[in-house]
Every structure is written in C-alpha cells, then in structure tokens.
Structure 1
Amino acid sequence: MSLITLSGLTPTSSGIHLGNYFGAVRQWIDLQDAGGAHYFIASYHALTTVRDPAQLSSNIRAVAMDYLALGLDPERAVIYRQEDVPEVCELSWILSTLTPMGLLERCVAYKDKVSQGISADHGLFAYPVLMAADILIVRSHRVPVGQDQKQHVEVTRDIAGKFNQTYGAVFPVPEPLILEGNAAKVPGIDGQKMSKSYGNDLCIFESEKKLRKRVMSIVTDSQGVDESKEPEGNTIFELYKLVATDDKVDAMADKLRSSGIGYGYGHAKQELFEAMLDYFADARSRRLQLEENPDEVEQILRSGADRIRPVVEKTMDAVRSAIGVIPSHS
C-alpha cells in the first residue's frame, strides 16, 4: 500500500505564483509517481482573509485550473476541494478539544500574520487545528511542506498523538516531508520572500501585459546601465536562475558584472519576463484550454471528491466510535 501524501494551497489570490510553484507544486508533481498523492484547495482556510464570496469562488476555480495546467494529474493524484469534505470542520472541532492553547500561541505563522496587521480572530488562531484535520481525515503519512510550514505539521503530530493516547490508535502520526530546493529562495518583487500576503508575488498565469508590468516593478538598487552590478542576491537574477537555462544565467551574470556596455536592470527585467513566458509556455497554453472548458475542471474536482469520500467516511466512523459520539444515522 502506498504512503498517503497530502498537501494543498489556500486560494487567497487569483493564481499560483512563482514561490508556490518552485516552493511546492513542482515537487508535488514529482511525488505523484510514488502513488498515494492527494492535493486539495484549502477553501475554508482562505476565509481568514477573503471575505468576498464571489472573489473566493473565483480564486478556487483559478487554483484548480492552475493545478491542472502546471501538471497535477487526476490519473496519478486525488485532486479535490476542501468544501467537498465538510466533515473536516467536524473533525477540527473534535481535535480542538485536545489542543492546548499554548501549542497554538507558539505558532510563528500566527505571530507573523498578526504583525502584518491581519486581524487576530479565532479562525487565524485555530488555523493549525483545521490544517491538522485536513491531514488526519485522509490519514496522511507524509505532508510535503516548506520549512515555514514545518511547525504546523509538528502541531498536527502533537494533536494526533494526544488523540491516539486519549481514545486509541485511530490516526497515523504524519511526518513532514520538507521541500528543500528553492522553497525559501524565491524572492518577491520587493526582495522579501514571495508571498500573497505581502503583495509581492508574480502570478504565473497573469496576462502578458500585467506580468511584464509586475516584472518591471521589481525593486533594485540605483546602479546605472554602465555600472557593474553584483548578480548574487539581486532579485532579478535570483528569479532568472529559476526559469532560464544555465547558459543564459551565466550570460546574464557576465552582463551584470560588466561596466560600460549599457546593460541595466531594465534589460535584465525584460530577459526575466521573456524567460518566464518560455518556461511556462506549455502550462499557459494548457491553462487557456481549461478556461474554455470549465466543465472539464468541475468534473475532475467532482471525481476527486468521489474518490476521497470513502476514506473520509471511514475515518470519521472510527473517530466518532472512539469518542463515543455516534449519530443515529450511522
């Protein structure tokens, strides 16, 4: 039997950005070959920041199309929406009764969001408990995450252990599968780590006009076109390394270091823009096809829901039996 792997993205913006792709989705694609891959759209999690229902619905569809366009394959993975597993909210409540306040208060992601001015409501505070429910309801063994999400998986492990200790061994205790590579190395247009919440992202499926405008807004130092510039640590160059061939990367580095050749940051940004279009050309083409066939996307998501439901129902039967709360219809 394959190990179950689960991960997902929160639809808080209208598309997957470079940080999402190189930090997570590219590795998810590879993990599909091992079997047991499950990828979901974390719609309920988005409610902590997205309060416009039409926008959230649009974001969910966009992330679904992005998943498929980038290479998540419904033949090799179960792809579904969180709202198609409403029992996750029931499980979240059950798990919350075993979760110490101090465990949640120590979560760095919560502190970071509050420091950004995001309202400290219960949903944001209890976010890791819902994440634990997402993971445990499918009895996941592995959770591929970046280093910044590792703590949330550790919280899940603590909660699963507490449940098993209290009620018996219902859940496997999942392991974080840390995505190394470029997960922490994707800078946004302002030089900070690329993040939707920072508003510094480059969305892969943005229109060419909007994408070019975003690329051209990358913050740089004041070195002129004829002055030598250090490539390493430069936001343009760091992004270029992700999407360009080694030869082209070396060529850009040489041009940036050279003085008196009239090569400025504007030229480098244009090369980055063109390299992004090249790198994602097939995905962008597939994305356009999916936009024209929304029924295909919906069918894939419904199929994913149909595949995951027996697993969820079996888990919840075991949970309800363990805690002694068994609905009359069971």
Structure 2
Amino acid sequence: MVTRPRLYSGMQPSADSLQIGNYIGALMQWRELQQSYQAFFSVVDLHALTQPNDPAELREKTRRTAAQYIAGGIEPSRATLYVQSHVPAHAELQWILTTLTGEGEARRMTQYKDKVARYGKDAASVGLLVYPMLMAADILLYQTDIVPVGEDQKQHVELTRDLAERFNARYGRAFTVPMPVIQRETGRIYDLQNPTAKMSKSAESDAGVLWLLDDPAVTAKKIMRAVTDSEGSVRYDRQAKPGVSNLLVIYAALTGRQIPAIEDEYAGRGYGDFKKDLAEVVVNEFAPVRERALALLADPAELDRVLAVNAGRAEEVANATLADVYDKVGLLRRA
C-alpha cells in the first residue's frame, strides 16, 4: 500500500465569516490537495488567543469557521478536520520547541517585529512572540511533508524546518522536515475599496470585504461599488489599475479562465457590464457554500460530533509523535 504524503494547514477563527481571499487562497486549493495528500486541516483557536477575545464569540467563530471549511469542500471523511485545542499535543509540543528556540530568533519573526514597531512592546504579548513555535508544533506533530502557505507565512515554515533539523540533530530523528508550498498568486485578493491593501478579516471598513456568508444582494452591491479608475478599459495592470486588476484576478480564479481571455471579452464594454457579470459569478459560487454552512450551523451538535471524531483521528498521529519526542528528550513516562 502506497502512503500518501502528508499536508497540514489551518486558519484562525477570527471572524464570523471567511472572506473571498480565504476562499480562493486557501479553501479552493485545499480541496484540490486533499485528493492527493493525507491532509490535516485545523481551526487554530489557540493562535487566536494572541488577540483579546470574547469567550462566547470565540467558540461561535470556531464553529462557524469549521462549518465553512466543510461547506467550501473539505471532506471530513477524507481529510482530518479538527479544532486545534481539541488536541492537547499542540500546546505540549510547543513547549519543547520553545526550549530549542533562541530569544533573538523569536524576536526576528516578522509578525512580532511588525506589531512591536507599530504599537510598542507592551502591545505584543509573549504569546505572540512564541506563536511561531506553536505553528511549528502544529506542523511537526503530523510528520508533515508540505505546508501550503501565503508568502507572509513562509518565514514561520522556515523556522519550523530549522527547529525540526535542530531537534533531529540533537536528540535523534523525530520529525519530518516540511517544505513550504507558496499558494498561487490568485490567492492574493485585495480590498475592493482600497485595492493596494490585501483583503483582510480585520479590515477597518466592511465595504471592501466580500464575506462568504453575506447575503447575495450585499455581495453584488459591494462588487458594483468596487473602486476602479477613470480609464474605462478592462485590462490587467497591477500598478496602474489595481482595482480592475483585483477584480480580474477574482473573475479568473472563480471561473478557471485566463485573464487575457476575460480582457478580450470585455474590450470596449466598460466597467458596468464587467462588474455585473463578476457579481453574478461570485454570487453563484458563494450560494451553495453559504447554504451548506448555514445548514451545518443549524445543527451544532452534529457539527461538534464530526469535529470530535476528526480530533480523535488527529490525536492518534499527534500523540505518537509527542510520545517519541518525550522519550528522546528524556522525560520520565508516567507509570
């Protein structure tokens, strides 16, 4: 029997709904990859604790994120889809990896440096400082071969590789050294009202964000009001025409068409027709996902059951890795 290579990825439950950048940049690619990899997908709720959270809202966002994973095409019977905190080995392995990480190494991580530079040291918790070690634990627990990530997370995967190699050299081989796989450029979607800024769940304004669970009429209105320019021609030029270029990327990603073919179709037709057709594409893509997610959320007991079953599968792999690590570092097993 040929064993499929393993894949790990996850998203934080930081909003009630995923946005189109999450859908195109992660979910669309994950559902393809789960066909050829033994995939582990996690709702990384422990990572979310690096920001202040209302406890009830965090629990609800965690369920909603998991429901959207499934609605977006992740199959819990094929991939292992679970909530990070349901597998305690994540936090336990993080501690071991933290003891292998230099303070300067941790402080050089871009995410931590950026927050300190923007808000000062007091705004950045120790949790944010050691966040990359938790991400490394997420990955290494499953003997992961590849990690699909955006360019902004590549540094964390490189640290994960360093820690895996460091542990293996010091204590004996316990970890597969993973490879980052940078998600396709189509995964970089920009804010509809500020097309030079990446679309984000934490955007200051809702007007530029296309939420997966938005009412279809709201989604269409946001697209029709998207910032473009005064030229009036539908063509891709990321520097000169960021708004139109962003809309072209969305159109191409959701239809599987090439951007030059879309440019040809709308040559001489202006932005009105283009935006109207794009709104129809997005609404038609989101509609079944939205319907399925809301149906899952209407039966939280069944959703929790699916997540519990998957957490059990994840634990079998994670606990075996952790036991090996504990033995190798010399921790005494409980009698």
Interval of TM-score (by shorter of Structure 1 and Structure 2): 0.7 to 0.9
Contact 2:18 2:201 in 1 (8 A): no
Residues 251 and 5 (structure 1), Cα distance of their counterparts in 2 relative to 1, 3 Å cut:
closer
- More displaced stretch, 280-289 vs 120-129: 280-289
Whether 1:174 aligns to 2:185 is: no
Whether 1:278 aligns to 2:284 is: yes
Cα deviations across residues 243-297 of structure 1 (Å, max 9, x unaligned)? Answer: 3474999567665x63xx7x555x6444332221112332223223212222221
Q: Which amino acid aligns with 1:141?
A: D
Contact 1:35 1:76 in 2 (8 A): no
For 1:304-315, list aligned pairs within 5 A.
Answer: 304-315=310-321
- How big is the shift at 1:174? 1.1
Whether 1:300 aligns to 2:309 is: no
Instruction: Indicate the residue corresponding to 2:212 in structure 1.
Output: 204
Task: Give the aligned CA root-mean-square deviation in angstroms.
Answer: 2.5
Residues 216 and 326 (structure 1), Cα distance of their counterparts in 2 relative to 1, 3 Å cut:
farther
Instruction: Indicate the residue corresponding to 2:241 in structure 1.
Output: none
- How big is the shift at 1:99? 0.5
Q: Which amino acid aligns with 1:204?
A: L
Q: Which amino acid aligns with 2:288?
A: D
For 1:73-222, list aligned pairs within 5 A.
Answer: 73-115=75-117, 117=119, 119-184=123-188, 186-189=189-192, 190-191=194-195, 192-199=197-204, 200-221=208-229
Contact 2:186 2:250 in 1 (8 A): no
Instruction: Indicate the residue corresponding to 1:36 in structure 2.
Output: 38
- Equivalent-residue separation in structure 1 for 2:118 and 2:260 (angstroms): 34
Instruction: Indicate the residue corresponding to 2:297 in structure 1.
Output: 291
Residues 228 and 317 (structure 1), Cα distance of their counterparts in 2 relative to 1, 3 Å cut:
closer
- How big is the shift at 1:217? 4.8
Q: TM-score under structure 2 normalisation? A: 0.86
Q: 2:95 is paired with a residue of what secondary structure? A: helix
Q: 2:187 is paired with a residue of what secondary structure? A: coil
Unaligned segments of structure 2, at least 5 residues? 239-243
Contact 2:10 2:44 in 1 (8 A): yes
- Equivalent-residue separation in structure 2 for 1:97 and 1:248 (angstroms): 48
Q: Percent same amino acid at aligned positions?
A: 36
- How big is the shift at 1:164? 1.4
Q: TM-score under structure 1 normalisation? A: 0.87
- More displaced stretch, 233-242 vs 175-184: 233-242
Q: Which amino acid aligns with 1:126?
A: V
Residues 206 and 147 (structure 1), Cα distance of their counterparts in 2 relative to 1, 3 Å cut:
same
Contact 2:81 2:307 in 1 (8 A): yes
Residues 114 and 22 (structure 1), Cα distance of their counterparts in 2 relative to 1, 3 Å cut:
farther
Unaligned segments of structure 1, at least 5 residues? none
- Equivalent-residue separation in structure 2 for 1:279 and 1:298 (angstroms): 26
- More displaced stretch, 244-253 vs 207-216: 244-253
- How big is the shift at 1:228? 2.9
Q: Which amino acid aligns with 2:135?
A: M
For 1:61-76, list aligned pairs within 5 A.
Answer: 61-76=63-78
Number of aligned positions between the proteins: 319
Contact 1:236 1:268 in 2 (8 A): no
Residues 158 and 293 (structure 1), Cα distance of their counterparts in 2 relative to 1, 3 Å cut:
same
- More displaced stretch, 95-104 vs 233-242: 233-242
**Residue of structure 1 aligned with 2:252, choices 219, 237, 241:** 241
